[in-house]
Amino acid sequence: MNVTIVDYNSGNISSVINSFKEAAKDKVSIEVTSDLNKIRTSDKVVLPGQGSFKSCVEALNSINGLVDTLNEFAITNKKPLLGICVGLQMFADIGYEETETKGLGWISGKVYKIDSQNGKFKLPHIGWNELNIIKESKIFKGIKNNSHMYFVHSYELIPEDRSVVSATTEYSSNIVCSIEKENIFGTQFHPEKSDKIGLKIIDNFINL
């Protein structure tokens, strides 16, 4: 079995790579690539995201055929895909960071700046926050409700259909921090920076 982490110049993804390799423990092959054939033939794909919604979408589109390959992998062939941080946000139809930018359109919804309530809440939202698990999710197997996860973000995905939401976190409002829709999974928090609990989530995804 192999898991491919998509390398599309979205910022430093070394912690994602290291955490997946640690969780895989040599039992599963972890590959980091932008090679379309390798992505297409993978068992599972991880879509990291660091930077702005606009810059990540542009980086995806800069690799000829990558978006089509991801669509084929996740939507046509329904293989497991995990989006992390902006990787999750790009599932949306549209994001409003920097400028209005079209997303992948896998989850009906839009990505808006978090309401800081006139500066009452600092942006970006950085640090550990509690996970409120609201529906059973395969990647939360063995994870206790109210576990703390590590966040770094100023924008949030607001889906049209709340049934895809598997967990939220309280910051300035009830922020969506995890989604599950059939074979598509996403976390707004960084499992790769969330210590042993984050590694457990990574392990759950690897073992789907």
What residues act catalytically?
A: 85, 190, 192
Number of residues assigned to the chain: 208
Both structure tokens of 71: 């669509």
Q: Is 65 exposed, middle or buried (0-12, 13-18, 19+ CB in 10 A)?
A: exposed
| Cα–Cα separations (whole angstroms), residue 48 to 6, 89, 120, 170 | 7, 10, 29, 23
Radius of gyration of the chain (CA): 16
Closest CA to 100 of 54, 152, 60: 54
Backbone φ, ψ for residue 159 (5° rounding)? -80, 150
**For the CA atoms of 109, 19, 1, 26, what is the dihedral angle to 10 degrees?**
180
Give the Cα separation of 205 and 23 in Å (integer).
10
Phi and psi angles of residue 62, each rounded to the nearest 5 degrees, phi first: -75, -15
